[in-house]
Structures are given as C-alpha cells and as structure tokens.
Amino acid sequence: MARRLRESKAKVAGLKKTVEEENPWKKAHDEQKRQAEWESLRRQTAEACQREAESRLKAQQAAQEEAAKAAGPRRSPRRSPRRTPRKTTKPTPSKPARVTPSKPATRSTPSKAPKATPKKTKIDAVQTQADREAARRQAAIERQQAAEAQERDDNARAALRPKVAPVVKARLQRYHSFVHLLQEEFNVRLKTSPSDADIHKAHVRCLAKLHPDKYRQSSIQEQVEAEEMYKALGNVYDMHKARRRW
C-alpha cells in the first residue's frame, strides 16, 4: 500500500513538472524578455556604427580640405601650337574663263551661328563639390532622423506590450476550446468534428491575417496587439496539440 502511494505521488509530481515546463505563458514571458534584450543590443550596435561613420566622414572631409589647401589652385600648362608643313602645289595650265548667264538676285537668309557651350571654370568645380558635400550632410541627417524615429517606435512598443499582453490573454481564455476560438474570434468555418489537418490549415490562415507585415502602415497600438495575438495564438495551438497527444 505504501509503495503504491509513493508511485502515485511520483506520477503526480512528474505531471506537475511537465505542465510547468509546457506553460505557454511562461515561455511567452521568457521570449519577450529575450526579444527586449536583443532589441536593446541592436540599438546600441546601430548607434555605435553611426557614430563611427560620422567620425570617418569628418576625418575624410578634414583630410580633403588640408590636401586642397596644400596643393593650391591648379594651372594647366600652356601648349605650343603645332606647325604644319606647307604643301607644295604644282602650277596648272590656265583655262579659258567660262561665261555663265546671270541669275536674278535672291534674298539671302542669315545663317544661324552654332550656340557656344559654356566652359567649366574653377568656380563651377567648387560649386559642384559644395553640392556634393551638402548632399552627403543631408543624407547623414536623414539617416539619423530615421534611426531616432525607429528608436521612438521601439520604445513605444516596449511600453505598450505589458498593457496589451494581459488583455489578449484574458480575451483568449474566454473560449473553452481551440476550435471554438477560431470560430468565434476569426470567423473560421469548420466541421462539427474537424480533423487535425483542418485545424492546422485554419490556424495557418489566422496567423497569416495577423502577420506583422500586414500592419506596417497601421498605428503602433494595432501593431502591438497583432504581435501579441500572433504569439498567444501560437501558444494556444501548442497547448491544443499537447492535449490531443494525451
């Protein structure tokens, strides 16, 4: 009798341990924590790369300015004109003059002179270099603004996740089964006793609706709600498969 009691207690302890290990909410919390750490590390590396690029750009500009000051204005060397040898012509016998009838005078049209193309001077070269420098500075400013906007969005998402996650969890706990959840929450039509393949297909269709790529133009609140619903739906499906195995 005592041996049976010990075996039953061991079985109960093992079942509790497996339930704790397969707890989806704990897994979701750990995954959220890892994701936050990864995002902070990514932001730090991006800021370091940006600072390094700006310092390199400043050093390159300073080196170019020093080289231009040291070289001074460039002067093109004068070239001596080429001398062409004179051609010797043989005397030709004179021909009698040919008399042609005179034509009536016509109004002469003025010939259009070709347009002279402006030559590039040193002022134009300096102007183009200044335009390039201005374009580089503008591109650096735009990159910095985009990084700051991305950082603001990430901070807003991180602040909203702790508020949205419990709401999504309570919203999904109202349903007594995974099939009922798909039918009521996502309007999925299933049979009275659907197979595992039908449930899997419906689950994949619902995940496609909640994919983050479809919420890029939406507000940050909607993006965070879609992400949390995406994660929670995957965890509930894992629990459903574990119950089917038992």
Specify the higher pLDDT residue, 45 or 17. Answer: 45
What letter does residue 214 receive in the DSSP assignment? G
- Compute the residue count for the chain: 246
Q: Is the pLDDT of residue 92 over 50?
A: yes
Tokens of 143: 């990159």
What pLDDT was estimated at residue 240?
A: 85
What letter does residue 229 receive in the DSSP assignment? H
Q: State which H helix or E strand residue 66 sits in.
A: helix 24-71
What pLDDT was estimated at residue 218?
A: 87
Give which of 51, 48, 42, 40 is closest to 140, Cα–Cα: 51
Average confidence (pLDDT) over 159-163: 89
Q: Dump pLDDT digits (tens) for 104-150.
A: 555 555 556 556 555 556 566 667 888 888 888 999 999 999 999 98
Query: What is the C-alpha to C-alpha distance for residues 17 and 34, in angstroms, rounded to an integer?
Result: 23
Contacts of 25 (CB under 8 A, 6+ apart): 169, 235
Average confidence (pLDDT) over 219-229: 89
What letter does residue 212 receive in the DSSP assignment? G
Q: Is the pLDDT of residue 21 over 50?
A: yes
Whole-number mean pLDDT of the chain? 78
Specify the higher pLDDT residue, 69 or 245. Answer: 69
Q: Dump pLDDT digits (tens) for 167-205.
A: 888 888 888 888 888 888 888 888 888 888 888 898 898
What pLDDT was estimated at residue 114?
A: 57
Tokens of 60: 């390159």
Tokens of 52: 């390094």
Query: What is the C-alpha to C-alpha distance for residues 195 and 201, in angstroms, rounded to an integer?
Result: 10
In the chain, DSSP assigns E strands to none
Q: What are the backbone dihedrals phi and psi of residue 109, each rounded to the nearest 5 degrees, phi first?
A: -95, 135
Query: What is the C-alpha to C-alpha distance for residues 47 and 55, in angstroms, rounded to an integer?
Result: 12
What pLDDT was estimated at residue 126?
A: 64
What pLDDT was estimated at residue 74?
A: 57
Query: What is the C-alpha to C-alpha distance for residues 143 and 14, in angstroms, rounded to an integer?
Result: 55
Average confidence (pLDDT) over 30-42: 84
> If you search the block for the tokens 């990084």, which residue do you land on?
147
Query: What is the C-alpha to C-alpha distance for residues 132 and 42, in angstroms, rounded to an integer?
Result: 31
Apex 56 CA angle, 132 and 39, nearest 5: 105
pTM above 0.75, yes or no: no
Query: What is the C-alpha to C-alpha distance for residues 174 and 212, in angstroms, rounded to an integer?
Result: 25
| Dihedral, 30, 34, 36, 39 alpha carbons, nearest 10 | -160
Tokens of 192: 């009275």
Tokens of 18: 């497996």
Tokens of 170: 């309570």
Q: Dump pLDDT digits (tens) for 48-61.
A: 888 888 988 888 88
Average confidence (pLDDT) over 27-34: 78
